[in-house]
Amino acid sequence: MARHSVTLRRIEFADWRAVHSWASLPQVCRFQSWGPNTEEESRAFVATAVEAWAHSPQRRFVYAAHVEGEVVGLGELHIRSRHQGEITYSVHPRVWGQGVGTAIGKGLLARGFGHLELHRIHATCDPRNLGSARVLGKLGMTWEGRHRHTALIRDGWRDSEVFSILEDEWREIEGPRIGPGGPNPTA
């Protein structure tokens, strides 16, 4: 199980092919209400994610995750209210279990608690998605409970496990090395 150095940068439209390489796979979107994506759907998603960087106030921060110069995942921090946000991530299955999702999550949390000065960040996952639940646990997020029937997916209604972390909990885990901007995902 190799660990990779992961770099986050603002998503660009040219990333759509890389995003499509995993968003078109049934195993990636098994627990999601989207996908498997067509090329048109992947292009539209990336175009919307790129456009979100121009909005003011900005509510969505979508990053491409690079390993050795190749886009292998993406992460999004969505501002839900003045002091709260939500993170999501998606990773190509060929790097599952190699720390990429955890690295994406850490970068998103650092941005949210650093530069954006959020108080609480949450994430959800399907109860059957044990890999994602493990990532959220590695991020120091606390399981808050289960919301019933939150999304209609291919095999019926899906419940969502809810995890969260508060600013002081994050600072306790990460320590004083995180400044106002957090680790620098290029933005």
What pairing do the DSSP bridges indicate for beta strands 70-81 and 84-91? antiparallel
Confidence (pLDDT) at 35: 87
- Decide: 161 and 133 in contact? Cβ < 8 Å: yes
Kindly give, in sequence order, each residue whose CB lies less than 8 Å from that of residue 156, ignoring residues fewer than 6 positions away: none
Give the confidence band of 183 by pLDDT, cuts at 50, 70, 90: very low
First vs last C-alpha separation in the chain: 30
Confidence (pLDDT) at 182: 41
Rg of the chain over Cα atoms, rounded to whole angstroms, equals: 16
pLDDT tens track for 77-86: 999 998 999 9
Instruction: State pTM to two decimals.
Output: 0.89
CATH class of 6-177: alpha beta
pLDDT tens track for 76-119: 999 999 899 999 999 999 999 999 999 999 999 999 999 999 99
Smallest Cα–Cα separation from 146: which of 170, 131, 129?
129
